[in-house]
Amino acid sequence: PRPAIKRIPSRDSLDTYLGDVDDESEEEEYDELKVSAILEHLMKAADVAALMQSFDNLDKWSSRLFREQKASAIVARGDDPEASWFEGQIVFMDVYVMPLAKKLAEPGIFDDETGSLFAQCVQDNRARWLIEGRRKTDTLIANWKEKHACTS
C-alpha cells in the first residue's frame, strides 16, 4: 500500500521545518521566501496532480482535458490537440511534471518515502503512456469524431 500523504503543511509545521532563527529580520525574510517557494510548488502540483497519481486517474483527467481543448478548438478558442496529444503528454511530463515532482521531495515537508512517490508515479505513468498512449489517443480522436459526426 502507498503511504498516506501528510496534510498540507501548517504555518507551525513549516516553522518547525525551517527551524529557529537568531537574527529575526534577515532570517525571517529568508524563511518567508522558503515558505512561499514551498507553497508555490504545492499549488503547482495541485494543478497537475492527476499526472502524479495512478495511470487510471491520469487517463481519466487527460481524456477530459483533451475533450475540453477539442471543444474549444472547434469554436476557435484554442489549438486543436489532436495532432500533438500523444507527444504533448510526454513532453509535459518531462519538462514540467517530473521536475515539479522532484521538487516536492526536496523541502522535507513530506517524509522521504512520500516525497519520492510523486516522481515515481510520474515515471511509471510516462512509461505506461509510451506503451498505451498512442492507442488511447487514437481512441479519444475516434470517439470524438463519432460523437460529433453530425455537428462538425
Quick check: is 3 in a domain?
A: no
Quick check: is 108 in a domain?
A: yes
Q: Are residues 56 and 41 in the same domain?
A: no
The pLDDT score that the predictor gives to residue 36 is 87
Q: Are residues 60 and 113 in the same domain?
A: yes
How many domains are there within the chain?
Answer: 2
Assigned C-alpha cell, 27: 532570517
With 70 as the cut, is the pLDDT of residue 21 above it?
Answer: no
The pLDDT score that the predictor gives to residue 151 is 58
State the residue range of the domain holding 56: 50-147
Contact present, 106 and 117 (Cβ < 8 Å): no
Q: Are residues 57 and 36 in the same domain?
A: no
The pLDDT score that the predictor gives to residue 25 is 61
Q: Are residues 100 and 140 in the same domain?
A: yes
DSSP 23-43: SHHHHHHHHHHHHHHHHHHHH
- Confidence band (pLDDT; 50, 70, 90) for 54? very high
Q: Are residues 133 and 94 in the same domain?
A: yes
* 97: exposed, middle or buried (Cβ count in 10 Å: 0-12, 13-18, 19+): buried
- Buried/exposed 64-80: b ≥16 CB within 10 Å, e otherwise: eebeebbeeeeeeeeee
With 90 as the cut, is the pLDDT of residue 145 above it?
Answer: yes
Q: Are residues 41 and 76 in the same domain?
A: no
Residue 94, C-beta contacts closer than 8 angstroms, at least 6 positions apart: 126
How far apart, in whole angstroms, are the C-alpha atoms of residue 36 and residue 33? Answer: 5
Quick check: is 2 in a domain?
A: no
Question: What average pLDDT does the structure give for the chain?
Answer: 85
